[in-house]
Amino acid sequence: MLCVAGVCVCAPRGTRAQEPPYFVTYSHHLEEPGNLEIELNPDYGTQRGGNDYLASTMEFEYGVKGWWTSEFYLDGQSTFSDSTIFTGFRWENRFRPLMREHWINPLLYLEYENVDEADKTMIEVTGFDNQADYLPRNAVLRRETDREAEMKLVLSSDFKGWNVSENFITEKNLGHDPWEFGYAAGASRPLRLEATANECNFCLENFLAGVEFYGGLGTSWRLTTAGTSHYGAPVLGWQLPSGVTLRISPGFGLNGNSHPFILRWGVSYEFEGFGWRLRKLFQ
């Protein structure tokens, strides 16, 4: 823990992101062009009638243009008293169709995912996702691979330091199954709106707090909030002057179909000018 804290405080200076501290909800803020952000986002989930698990995504987020961000994910999980496995990859792209800020800013999200049924990262909830889906052993779950396309409409607003974001999610298995729907919504703000004159690690301006809710909305055959899982989770982010961002979020299942408790945490570091340095290799 001391080593991690040392790295966070003493890391070579990166750049400071402006994204809200959500884990599931997206806002309209994109990666700055040319910057590469590397994130590790593990989550620990409790399982009714089964073994708890630790899942994680490794994310590589790159700002291609001012209006376009691309992100590549590698997923894995470890289920206690079972096994540790790689579960697949995702590739997402986010686009801002409007070039200026508005009261409500839309963002279009497109993703291709190739993950097996053993994936437990739960970076969204759709359809009739249920905590019981995770009960079988990994060897059984990973027999089926899902190749899915996912689209989101993100609506996001910044007002007096607050960010409020709503996501409407639709997911389609490319092989079979109906369209699945889900939602995510969050609100957050920095604990202090003004910046202080000096660099500091523990100033309130470096902390962001908020809350997010997410869950399923059934399928195109049956659009409903019943029979699927829903979660509520406070979120806390800490942006260090070194460019490292730490986040944590204890999430709580809001009905019997949900995992009782999910603890998410994340660490990210943003490399500024990554694209510019890469380009120099080709010149």
Partner 1 sequence: MNARFVPALFVLASLVAVAADSARDWKTDDRGVLIAIARAPVEVRAWKNPYAGQPEAVLAGKKLFSQHCAGCHSEDATGRGRAANLRSSGVQNAAPGELVWVVRNGNLRKGMPSWSGLPPQRQWQLVTYLETLR
How many Å is the maximal CA-CA distance in the chain?
Answer: 58
Nearest to 116 by CA among 142, 80, 97: 142
As measured in angstroms, the least distance from the Cβ of 54 to partner 1 is: 25
As measured in angstroms, the least distance from the Cβ of 91 to partner 1 is: 6
As measured in angstroms, the least distance from the Cβ of 221 to partner 1 is: 26
As measured in angstroms, the least distance from the Cβ of 233 to partner 1 is: 20
As measured in angstroms, the least distance from the Cβ of 163 to partner 1 is: 7
As measured in angstroms, the least distance from the Cβ of 116 to partner 1 is: 12
Neighbours of 224 (CB within 10 A): 12
Residue with tokens 């009782």: 260
What one-character-per-residue DSSP string does 53-98 give?
A: EEEEEEEEEEEEETTEEEEEEEEEEEETTS-EEEEEEEEEEEE-S-
Report the residue number, 43 or 71, with the smaller CB distance to partner 1: 71
Report the residue number, 30 or 122, with the smaller CB distance to partner 1: 30
**CA 140 to each of CA 108, 175, 253: distance values in angstroms, whole numbers, following the listed order:** 35, 19, 25
What are the residues binding partner 1 (CB under 8 A)? 15-16, 18-20, 27, 29-30, 32-35, 63-67, 72, 89, 91, 96, 99-101, 112, 114, 145, 147, 158, 160-161, 163, 189-190, 193-199, 241, 272-273, 275-276, 278-280, 282-283
Q: b or e along 90-120 (b: 16 or more beta carbons within 10 Å of the residue's beta carbon)?
A: bebebbbeeeeeeeebebebebebebbbbbb
Report the residue number, 68 or 168, with the smaller CB distance to partner 1: 68
User: Sign of dihedral through CA atoms 44, 182, 86, 95?
Assistant: negative
Report the residue number, 78 or 145, with the smaller CB distance to partner 1: 145
Report the residue number, 91 or 168, with the smaller CB distance to partner 1: 91
Report the residue number, 43 or 212, with the smaller CB distance to partner 1: 212
